Chain A
Amino acid sequence: MSGAIQTIAEAARVIAAKQLSPVELTRACLDRVHKLDGELHAFVYLSEERALAEARAAEAAIMADGPKGPLHGIPIGLKDIVDTKGIPTTCQSRFLQDNIPDTDAACAEKLAAAGTVLIGKTTTHEFADGGPSFDLPAPPARNPWNTEHFTAGSSSGTGAGVAAGLILGGIGTDTGGSIRGPAALCGIAGIKPTYGLVSRAGVAPAAFSLDHIGPMAWTAEDCALMLQALAGHDPRDPASASRPIPDYTSQLGSGIKGLKIGVIHHFHETDHKVSDGTQHGITGAIATFRDLGAEIREVQLSPLQDWLACGSLISITERAAAYEEWVRTRLGDFSERLGSRLMLGSFVTGVDYVQAVRRRRELRAELQAAMRGLDVVLTATQPMEAAKIDAVPKWDLFAAPNFTMPFNVSGYPAISVCAGFGAGGLPVAIQLVGKPFQEPTVLRVADAFEKATPFRNRRPALATA
């Protein structure tokens, strides 16, 4: 039982039935890490002894009193920009190679309280830059579906680790797509919650007003289970929302008959035409939703390029401000890729920034109006299957607009789920976007799609060999 890769939901069921020990499950994950991570580079730090101690403690507690929830005894990873008490948090930067925080980030604290087992810190690019970077203290993560290919960034290690079964879930962060991009290219699920739903406290910033923390896992259901533990008000995060937290699993399995799904065709058909494989995935998803009883409608927004310009200006400027002291005094210690972006961000004028923030209000109002009467909207997550890792241009920021930034600009919740396999057998994905704090609906639609399609039955060959 323990050797087979499982979802969080499945593992929780067998753990609760005392048919699987968290120690067995943790050992199985660690065995896979030892077998595969030399090739995948999903981890920058392995907390093996701590993981086994946590697993043993979970086992004892479950045997005595039963599990305290579905995450009790579940092996996870935390992106290496998430502070972890007593465990190195390097942000993949030369600036923080010796950084051992004395407190946990809010998300780490909450997952620990839910009983998770921390396998280790997962690979990212410096301070959550999109990457890939090859001049960092540790190499970039590789895509488990084909290790010559990129995972997307910056939650690369979490994406690769979940897809390969090294962990059952993990934390990603998303400033312009860093949860949803790796989820898409690694063929897993990843949700960027509504801005303010999950505390940013203790997580290194990329861009304060665009940063989101969220779960990545094999399925939308697993994301729901993790989000339940993560969501909630935190006074340490000035953007934290103070709202009642619903049951994120309550709508799963209730079908989507009568729900209204808007498709932003022009994003992926005109503004940035996607690959044949991705288009096939989107077309198939629309047909699936129709078969499940949803109503499909057309949605028109400003061109993708407008959203990207707004989000990128804000992102690049806020990041340059956050790291300005080091940019001015130790520029050469940054990776080439991030250093160049920070320099460029330093050139954005105050007026440019405010114009971008004014544009942000307009774009958000536009999305709000477009979603009136709809439950979710759908577009691509990534333009194509994963590129070869050495073929990603350094200045991809200007190469083509991405599909994820609009929902960082708006702060709306968005999930990426696998929608099939394209060129080279690499995953393709769709992105589903909901109204603010309507994660239960987003997860309901994503879960219905996963259960109506066969894509969750296939793991990377490397992981199942």
Chain B
Amino acid sequence: MPEIKDEAFEFLLARAGLSLTDEQKAELKSVYAGIAAMAERVRQPRGYMAEPAHIYDFAEEDLT
């Protein structure tokens, strides 16, 4: 997994509303590849019809 580029990392920080020290940034950058690898691993050739797990139906009590 390639290291995340500085611009992308700064975008993620800003998007998350985080203001970090240089030390915190360095640590997060060093472990980011781990979470990126997990994000790749959950992607399967499943097609666009595959449903997520949290689709729900209405119970009887919702209808009254």
Contact = CB atoms under 8 A, between A and B. Distances in A.
Interface string A355-368: 11111111010000
A354 interface: yes
A331 B20 CA distance: 9
Interface in A307-357: 308-310, 312-313, 316, 327-328, 331, 340, 343-344, 346-349, 352, 354-357
A295 interface: no
Contact of B28 (A308, A313, A343): A343
Interface in B46-64: 46, 50-54
| Interface range, A side | 20 to 34
A305 B16 contact: no
A360 B55 CA distance: 12
A344 B42 contact: no
Contacts of B17: 327-328, 346
B54 A355 contact: no
B57 to A, nearest CB: 14
Interface residues of B, number: 25
Contacts of A309: 37-39, 41-42
A306 interface: yes
Contacts of A361: 50-53
Nearest to A209: B54
Nearest to B27: A340
A66 to B, nearest CB: 38
A307 to B, nearest CB: 10
A340 B54 contact: no
Chain A's interface: helix, strand, loop or mixed, by majority? helix
B31 A357 contact: no
Given A357-B53, A362-B44, A362-B46, A352 B39 contact: yes
A327 B24 CA distance: 14
Contacts of B28: 340, 343-344, 347
A209 B56 CA distance: 13
B52 A306 contact: no
Contact of B39 (A348, A357, A398): A348
B42 A356 contact: yes
A100 interface: no
Contacts of B41: 305-306, 309-310
B43 interface: yes
Interface of B: 12, 16-18, 20, 24, 27-28, 31-32, 34-35, 37-39, 41-44, 46, 50-54
Given A328-B16, A358-B42, 9 more contacts: A309-B42, A328-B17, A331-B18, A347-B12, A360-B52, A361-B51, A362-B44, A395-B34, A397-B34
Interface of A: 209, 305-306, 308-310, 312-313, 316, 327-328, 331, 340, 343-344, 346-349, 352, 354-362, 364, 395, 397-398
> 9 closest Cβ contacts across the A-B interface?
A346-B16, A398-B34, A309-B38, A357-B52, A309-B41, A360-B53, A359-B42, A361-B53, A352-B39
